[in-house]
Structure 1
Amino acid sequence: MEIKELHKLFLASNGVCTDTRKIEQKSIFFALKGENFNGNKFASDALKKGCSYAVVDEKRAIENANNGQSQIILVDDVLQTLQKLAKFHRNFLGSKVIGLTGSNGKTTTKELLQAVLRKKFKTYATPGNFNNHIGLPLTILQTPHDTEYLILEMGDNQPRDIQELCEISDPNCGIITNIGKDHIEGFGSMEGNVKSKKELFDYLSERGRTCFYNGVNEYSNQLISGIPNTIDFSSKNSLSIEKQNPFIVYRSENDNTYQTNLIGAYNIDNINCAYIIGKFFDVLDEKIHEAITTYTPSNNRSQFIETKDGNQIFLDAYNANPTSVEKALKSFSEMGSDHEKWVFLGDMLELGSISKTEHRNTLSLLEKLNFKNVVLVGKAFYEFKDEFPFSFFDKKEKAIEFAQNQKLKNALILLKGSRGLKMEEFTDVIP
């Protein structure tokens, strides 16, 4: 079946789905495959539950459909068909697409920018972390038809990931929040990481489109090398931090100050990105500041939690890499407080050959910043249990029991770690 014909069926449907546990009536089921699952086996079930069609790439799925064989669409590759459909629909929509990638701050920047652009335009953005080769197409296919600006978060963990996402979404402009030490296992080196992120700017540059970058990031010169249409959104050009109380208060270009709901000095870069791009698209200054100051983070990112026993928790446990951890620790150390400070830090995953060095560097930084109450969780940190004067636990359950026994009261607490550690679970035992 031609993609334009499939698109007609899509427009007449209630969208697409890939999970038979979340079927919406009259949707189109795409039988995706992975290491541990094969959607072709569930095509018949999807039709029974109310899907109008099922897209499969194995003939036996047709045989298993019994009376629903006319509703089965056989293709060479289901994933590629999903991506081609999304690419076709992206052009059908006519929305302006903003591509956004980076090592840290992608989701917070996306949400801030969405809040800003919504002050003037009908705007839609990647829900949750739907930022890979499956999530991005699904985002495009669920975008409301009246959307004027579509913000697409682009994740990568190996070369050509960003290039592939650009070819599907054809962004009109792009943002790289920063470059840090993330997914080195997949990239092989920092050079590979920079090159992978730069795929966004390379794609845009070839088409004469605008690239927004963080001019204070140490890799910015490499990112914009050979790229003509660039705009620096860093704080050296616009907003600056006035104070942290513990939330960021920033000073504007006209010397006004604004209170946010964001913690961590590193978030000023995310604020500036939303501010500069808002101005680029002619959103009124007062509306930009209104959007930024009313935005409240969620999903374990830069969240502030106060407990019944007076503990103040800074929860930033959605993910972690050496760069984001360094920024979080430095910001936490600079927070003025009479309360006792505690750091609960989980392993940084997917670092490959640099893992041991970076975990040791993080421990040295903790020592240098003079943190006394430090709890390290995970096997990577546990290797250094005899080298540093902190509390090490190879299993999270032991660390949670330790935290519970501390009976913390009126403490200032930082919780951070890679997603696999689920450090947010400590909030259940901190009174």
Structure 2
Amino acid sequence: MMPGVELSDIARAVDAPLRGKNALVTSVGIDSRHCKPGQLFVALQGQQVDGHDYLEDAKRAGACGAMVERAQTCALAQIEVSNCERSLASVASFNRDLYTGKVLGITGSAGKTACKNILASILSQRYVVHATRGNLNNELGLPLTVLELEPRHDLAVLEMGAAKPGDIAYLAKIARPEIGLVTNVSEAHLGGFGSVETTAKTKGELFDSLPENGIAVMNRDDRFFDAWYQRFCQRRSADGVWSFSLCDAQADFFTDSIQLLPNGSRFTIKSTRLASSWRLDVLLPLLGEHNIINAVACVALCKSMGLDDTLIEQGLAAVTPESHRLQYCESCTHLHLYDDSYNANPASMLAALETVANLQALQRNDAAPAERVAVFGDMAELGDGAAQLHQEVGAAAAALGYTQLLAVGDFAESYVAGFEANGGKRGEVADSIEALANILGGAEYAAATVLLKGSRAAGMDKLAELLCRPVSGGPASC
């Protein structure tokens, strides 16, 4: 929170009365269990719990006040509003008004968190950076992230998620980024968007939100690049577009000489925008070709800010993968396990399948059996075409040489149907995560290469924990 803000300032920002003693506000939170002295507690009403029931807990923890929709008898200063969620956004917007550093916004169907982490690693070589924690990228998470901005932060790197039309416009109105990056658009959250075209329009709202001198970092490989570019240039100079690509030499930044490694990749980035002799040799400790293009996007953004090449190289080399995001599990001694269980959509499924197939090819001993197993949970929020999209992923696993597909969830049979229709021989549906763990614990899977992936709701991270659990019963780790 920016310094010097009082309850009375927040009451004015949300146009609501303050009842009780005015006080200095040091932070804003929504969980009474993590309340700190000087915090404004926002009493959100959720599906399971109502924050209004926890004002006494917040008071005991040192809260200076509460934002409520119904006045409570608790002896704690209260700001009474009609909607706590919308008022939380207004308070975040107020804090953003006070912040003078630069704000960078990131969205896309896949790669948001990877790009956020890469950018934070690079930019922190020179600046004090505040980046989105975990997945706090929605209508609650982004305001809370903006409310953490302090004068010591030179830059903010904000991840923005969307599940329906208008979400990015809403979040961008709060964050007001000066630089925007859209990683890509694919079949994700179609249950909320209805079509990929609507998804692209929603993601493009980030570019629409930029100021007149804003910088739009665009993926030239994406099928919606031309639409975004033309829309941006209707109101701003084309010089504000910095494009990137995996290998299209017409982009401002693109790659050359890609070498996939067991623990990452090595490649060169070239540019048509900078001097013809410019090149950046990169050693990236993240798995997969999809992370290479994420890195190119981040380099394009950093060069738009004039960052030194040496700092970029250092930041790229220092990136670390997040848990459950295409992570090789060293503690799983029975299998060669790649845990990508954090989330899933069709495009990220295909990227993970290709990456693990390539990694096995790099590491394989030709004298050893080449068991390559895909273990999938459902992809969520895909709308009416969900069954077909699950079948297509199953078919892709067969085409990439996976020798077996194990699946759990409502669309498990769709995965298996697609796998077998495309020549896969061993497709199997399990009735639970525990059943999958028992199957994969069998001797026939010793030294098999296994990819684990599904949407967050599928709970495939629990399977990773079961498979990585030491025999001694100690804590699991990947």
- TM-score when scaled to structure 2? 0.83
CA distance in 2, matches of 1:123, 1:50: 28
CA distance in 2, matches of 1:202, 1:168: 14
Paired residue for 1:380? 411
Paired residue for 1:224? 229
Cα contact 2:207–2:216 (8 A) shared by 1: yes
Does structure 1 residue 249 correspond to structure 2 residue 280? no
Cα contact 1:194–1:219 (8 A) shared by 2: yes
Change (3 A) 1:38 1:273: same
Is the partner of 1:318 in helix, strand or coil?
Answer: coil
Cα contact 1:101–1:155 (8 A) shared by 2: yes
Q: Deviations for 1:96-127, whole angstroms, at most 9, x for unmatched residues?
A: 11111000000010010111111222211111
Aligned AA (1:223): W
Paired residue for 1:411? 448
Structure 1, unaligned stretches of length 5 or more? none
Is the partner of 2:373 in helix, strand or coil?
Answer: strand
Cα contact 2:242–2:301 (8 A) shared by 1: no
Change (3 A) 1:256 1:230: closer
Please tell me the root mean square deviation across aligned C-alpha atoms, in Å.
2.4
CA distance in 1, matches of 2:317, 2:138: 30
CA distance in 1, matches of 2:454, 2:403: 19
Is the partner of 2:266 in helix, strand or coil?
Answer: strand
Cα contact 2:373–2:404 (8 A) shared by 1: yes
Does structure 1 residue 113 correspond to structure 2 residue 113? no
Q: 1:238 aligns with which of 243, 254, 264?
A: 254
CA distance in 2, matches of 1:261, 1:377: 31
Change (3 A) 1:30 1:410: same
Paired residue for 2:381? 350
Cα contact 1:132–1:156 (8 A) shared by 2: yes
Structure 2, unaligned stretches of length 5 or more? 1-7, 234-239, 271-277, 365-369, 471-478
Paired residue for 1:41? 53
How far off its partner does 1:200 sit?
A: 1.0
Change (3 A) 1:263 1:50: same
Q: 2:350 aligns with which of 310, 326, 335?
A: 326
How far off its partner does 1:304 sit?
A: 2.1
- TM-score when scaled to structure 1? 0.91
How far off its partner does 1:408 sit?
A: 3.4
Q: 1:161 aligns with which of 163, 167, 171?
A: 167
Cα contact 2:328–2:339 (8 A) shared by 1: yes
Cα contact 2:121–2:319 (8 A) shared by 1: yes
Is the partner of 1:227 in helix, strand or coil?
Answer: helix
CA distance in 1, matches of 2:114, 2:341: 13
Does structure 1 residue 17 correspond to structure 2 residue 29? yes
CA distance in 2, matches of 1:90, 1:407: 57
Q: 2:402 aligns with which of 368, 371, 391?
A: 371
Does structure 1 residue 182 correspond to structure 2 residue 197? no
Paired residue for 2:67? 55
Is the partner of 2:407 in helix, strand or coil?
Answer: strand
Change (3 A) 1:307 1:40: closer
Is the partner of 1:306 in helix, strand or coil?
Answer: coil
Q: 1:3 aligns with which of 2, 10, 16?
A: 10
The 5 Å alignment of 1:331-342 reads 331-335=355-359, 336=361, 337-338=363-364, 340-342=371-373
